[in-house]
Each structure stands twice: as C-alpha cells, then as structure tokens.
Structure 1
C-alpha cells in the first residue's frame, strides 16, 4: 500500500499558532477519555436475549434451546440484534405491567400492545410494524408455532396495523439530507445544511482534522453509520492519481462479507492524510474519539524582593524565585477503539450547531432546534442519494453505488425532489407559463 498524499490543500494550523501553543498527543484507553453523558448504547448479547426470554416463558415450557438461539443470533446483523433486544425489552415490560403472558402471545394482547404503543407512546406505524416483526421472530426462534399459525399473523393484528396506518399515515419521518452544495441541474434547489458549510466550520486542530475526514468519507461512500465506524486504515487504498478506493466489508445487506468498493476523491484523500499525519495513526480504526484538554498559559514572573512579599502570601517561594512563561497547552487523547454510532451522531450535530451559530443557513426564529434534530447519522447517505438523482443517475446505478436494498427504498428520499424533473414538469413547463 502506497503512502497517503500529503495534505497541502487542507487547512492546517499556522507555524505561529503552533509556536504559541504546546501540543501533546497521546494514545489513550477508554478510561482516560472524557466520560460520555448517559444515553449511550447499551451492550447486547445472546446471553442477554436468552435471559430475557427465559424469564418470560410460562412454567413447564422446558427452557430455551441454547444452540438454536446462538445460531439465530449469529445470522443477524449487529443493528438487527440491537433492535430485537430493544423491542423485546419494551414488549416484556408492557406484558409485566399489564400482567399478560408474553409467550406464546395472544393476538388480543398484541392488539392491546399496539394501541398502547400508538396512543400511549406516540409511536408511528413503521415502529409498530417493527415491534410486531420482532415478536414474530422470537416466536420462531422458540419454535412456538409454525409460520402460518404465528399470533402476529392473526387477522386482528394485521387489521390493527392497517388501522394505525390509516390514522397516522404510513409516511415516515426522514433524516434531512446533507447535500454537497452546488445545484446539479437548472431545476434543482439545495436547501438546509450542506457539506461545504460543515467543512467550513471544521477547525484546524486534531479534532477538526478528524471531523473533516469523517464528513468527506461519509458523504462520498454513502455508508451506513455502522459501516462508517468499522473502517480501518488498511481499507483505504491510495491510487497513483491522488484518488482512493475504499474497501467495504460486511454491511447490512451483505452479511456474508462479499464486499464492495467506494471511490474517494483527491480532496477526501488529502483530508484522510491530514488526519493520519497529525494523529500519527498507522493501523487500526480510522475514525476514533479525540478528547481535548486545554490549559491556559501563564506569563513570566520576575523574581521579587523578599521584603516586598506580604507575609500572608501562600506561594512566596515562587514569587521569590520567579517563574518562566508557560505557553498554552493542548492535550489530545486519541482513543484505541472506533467511534460509535452515537459518537458520530454527536459530531454531526455539533457541526450543524456551529453552522447555525455562524449564520450560514436562513431559519425562522426558534426553528434552530428542528434543524439540529433533523440531522442524523443517515443524513450523508440521504444527501448523496439526492445529489446523484438530481445529476441524472438512474435508480439502479444509485442503488449499486450506495448499497440500497431496492430502488423503491432510495426513491423514498427523492419524492419531493423528483417532482421538479418529472414527466409532468418536463412536458408542461414549456406549455403553461
């Protein structure tokens, strides 16, 4: 593997700034990094899932097949495991509070559960459908019933889901897309936060170099957040022309790990090179936590005459001897493990807040929070999809490039955008003015 390009084109700290501040970079374990606030992802395992199910089974069931659970668990994607565990925890909590038997489930109880989710918790139909799918999966893992006799397939459960969709509508709340910035065609319109805006608020210190590289790779690769966090330095293959090829291993739609590749531009490779050069990383995860501890500098103090020092002074020896000037100190601690999906989401939202503070986007007063909440770890993937469709790429090409499961999935994110370039607009624009 050839060496990464030198990052001349990337904003770096000036020599004067480097001289004014002492910089220390250390590799640190998780215990040496700042403690995250509560709300991080809880660890999940097959042991936890089996324990939850065993505790909810009726007396005399005979226990859970350990090998069956392990086999089913190994076949799941990591995000599927987490969603299944979360959904099961919610369902079991409701069953316990309502004194209902969780397994085997009764269709009437499932309808009551769906009503509680919708009316009591305010969940949308898509979430209700996922919760029922998780309950169905647990029943199959326990061999409680055949596929045709699953309680989740009862007519009343299907009707309850249909009624929820009629009441609330089936349209899901979507992450706001972060697009590149320039318009892709004359009818195109780019709104909200753009990638160019986010780049402009990335600082030139170690954390900012990491952020810039993360944004660039996230946008050009269109990876899901779990796939983005899993990138290792060895997965980036620099090419002779300055561009790069990113090797992508297991994904949500490729659990066998056949792999695919993503193209990286010269600018992205320069940003990766700047981050690696500044951090000194050579192997392991590409994107990691960066803890920052800044200390203010102290001016020099000349020695003071003994008799001029007040008697109650605590540090009179320092005044007597004087002290040299101490420049500001910035200590950066780089984590050993990769960023988590929660960590990447925090980075995106922090940069979006910086864009808002700089006044780069026009917002109605009081709507700043709505924009921040609309940005998620899915926003880069959505924005790239919108840019590719706006530039004239067809659905099959977009799905192949980004890894969408189907064209219909990708089209969900360009429904409003595609109206401007649709058949009606192309025909009628010139006839009805």
Structure 2
C-alpha cells in the first residue's frame, strides 16, 4: 500500500496556497467549495480520509451529486478533486474511464439548459440611472452602470478597473483598457469605448473621489472613499436594487443579475445590426457558442 505523504496529513487547504495568483479569486473560491463538498460527503459516508480517493468513490460521489446538482456543478467538482490529487502528488483517479461514464450518466439523467440572466436593455439602463440618489453613492453607481453596460464587462472586470486604465479622448469619449478577464487569464487585455454621457458620469465620480485611491470604483464609508476595490458582488447588488427602485415587479428583479449588463448590451448590438465577430471583439468573447446563448433571445426582434 502506498504510504500517504506529509502533504496529505497536513491537508489539501495548505496546498491550495500554491494556486494563489495562478487562478482568479472566484476560481479559488469555487475550488474550495467543491473540495469541501467532497470532503463532507466522504465523512458522511464513512470515508474518514477522502484523499487519495478511489475511482469507485469518485463515481459514487458524482452520481450522488447529480441527483440534486446541475451537471455543470458536478463537472466543476470533478475538476476540483483532480486538482487536489495533483497538488498532493497522489495517483489521480479522475482519468479512469469509469469516471467519464459516471459523468455521462449524470448529464443524460438531468439535462439542464443554462440559465441566462435577463438582458438589461437601454431603456432599463435609463430607468436604473434615474433612480440613483443625489449623493456620492449615486455618482459612483451611475458611472458603474453606464460604463459597465457600454464596455460589456463581467463583474470582476468592472471592479478591477483602475484610474490608469481610462483615457479621456479628444471627442469626449473614453478608451478603457480591460486588462484581465475570465477568458484572458494571461492579461493581454482588450480596449473598450464609451459614449460621451458615460465619460461625463465617470468624470463626475472621479472628481468626487479624488486621488485617494487608484481603483476606479471603490467603497464609500461615511461619505469618504476607501482605498480598496469593490467586491464583484457589489455589481449584482447594485443592479437588483436599481431594478427594485425603478419599480420592476419582484419576479423581474430576480431575473436581473450581475451579468445583465453584458448580456443586454450584446443583444442590443445584434438588434442594431452588428455581426457576431464585432460583438465578440467588443465583449472579449472567445467562444461563439457562449455568445450565441446570449443572443438567441434577441434574434426574434432583429427582423421586425
């Protein structure tokens, strides 16, 4: 029997520190959540030491998770189990054909169509902007909503922007460097462009916050800017609270998410006649299939 190494005795959590900086914070959170789910399941099923895991154990875990979880979640948990075994230098059970077959059974038993956030339309954005308060929070929120919509940013991209990433152009618009994204982990970046209105909103916010922080959007405490970035959950909370204040019904508020700006702006570009390649460049998409899911709800309006 193979002797368990020191790393196993210390636990996988300490080994996860090696991943810091190589993966996005959201990916790290997902890995931890998924491994903890496997660890808890193992203990509940009488397996005191989940690593190294056998092929049979992982198959049982995947099929059990498939009863209540979406296939995408089950797949993500499989990847997390694989990562732990590699970090701990243990034999990896996830490459076995039985694992592949177990996951195929999960997918066939519970086909799930990806849930898509409601796209924020230009009219929605106008309503969201109109209900923002006359305060520092209102200045920040209007700039975030307006810029996030026009740049088609992900939540993480929007809160990661810094003052140095923004260039005010002679025509009154902005050129913004989005340095890193989910689909661009190496940080090649892409440029986005804004309207004059968005530039004016951002300028008003920057004039208020001054040079206290280099982060483009920062928290506010007792009407003072705080020198740190916002959490990406702030974007989701902002959109939902704006929808509620704008008078949307409860079910409509729930349908909005932090992804609504990105989805809605892409749909708006399609309605205006832009082709897929142009939309992919503007939003930094690498996969046509992912973009196609966002656009399918807009296509029926294109030819009206």
TM-score (norm 2): 0.88
For residues 419 and 169 of structure 1, the distance between their equivalents in structure 2, rounded to whole angstroms, comes to 25
- Partners of 1:158 and 1:336 in 2: CA distance: 47
- Aligned-pair CA distance for 1:76: 2.0
Distance 1:405 1:166 in 2: 27
Distance (Å, rounded) in 1 between the aligned partners of 2:298 and 2:240: 24
Superposition deviation, residue 284 in structure 1: 1.1
- Please give the alpha-carbon distance, in whole angstroms, between the structure 2 residues aligned to 1:59 and 1:203: 64
Aligned-partner SS, 1:398: helix
Confirm or deny that 1:412 pairs with 2:300. Answer: no
CA distance in 1, matches of 2:135, 2:15: 50
Aligned to 2:5: 62
Match of 2:34 among 87, 94, 98: 87
Maintained 8 Å contact 2:213/2:228:
no
1:179 paired with 2:121, answer: yes
Separation of aligned partners in 2, 1:164 and 1:418: 32
- Following superposition, the deviation at residue 112 of structure 1 comes to 2.4
Partner Cα distance (1:210, 1:159) in 2: 50
Normalized per residue, the structure richer in helix is: 2
Shift of residue 86 of structure 1? 1.6
Question: Which whole-Å CA distance do the structure 1 matches of 2:156 and 2:286 have between them?
Answer: 16
Contact 2:212–2:227 under 8 Å retained in 1: no
- 2:85 corresponds to 1:142: no
For structure 2, list consecutive stretches of 5 or more residues without a partner in the other structure. Answer: none
Q: Structure 1 unaligned segments of length 5 or more: list them.
A: 1-57, 182-193, 292-330
From 97, 104, 112, the equivalent of 1:162 is 104
The aligned counterpart of 1:349 is 240
* Greater relative contact order, per chain length (Cα 8 Å cut-off, separation 6+): 1
Alignment deviations for residues 120-147 of structure 1 (CA, whole Å, 9 cap, x no partner): xx321111111111112222333323xx
2:225 maps to 1:334: yes
TM-superposed CA distance for 1:167, in Å, is 3.0
- Secondary structure, aligned partner of 1:261: strand
Verify the 8 A CA contact 2:162 2:215 in the aligned structure 1.
Answer: yes
* In structure 2, distance between residues paired with 1:227 and 1:242: 23
1:233·1:282 contact (CA, 8 Å) conserved in 2? no
Superposition TM-score, scaled by structure 1 size:
0.63
Partner of 1:204: 134
Q: Say if 2:213 and 2:227, in contact at 8 Å, map to a contact too.
A: no
Write the distance in 2 (CA, Å) between the matches of 1:375 and 1:221: 18
